[in-house]
Amino acid sequence: INTNFQILYLLHEYHKNTTSNLQYVRNRNTMYLFTNKYHTLIYKKQYKSS
């Protein structure tokens, strides 16, 4: 779980450093949307398990 998040964070940092501000905002928002879905899936899995 942490490894996947670290990969996303590294991609996020890479895009921030290599793209324009407009593209950076789009990539950042996409990352946040993706991580929100990811956390939601983790939450649902934990809820089912308990």
For helices 21-49 and 2-18, the axis angle rounded to 10 degrees is: 170
Per-residue model confidence as pLDDT tens digits over 27-43? 666 655 555 666 665 55
- SS3 string, 26-49, reads HHHHHHHHHHHHHHHHHHHHHHHH
Count other Cβ atoms within 10 Å, centred on residue 33: 10
The string of pLDDT tens digits covering residues 3-17 is: 777 777 777 666 665
Report field, pTM of the whole predicted structure over 0.85: no
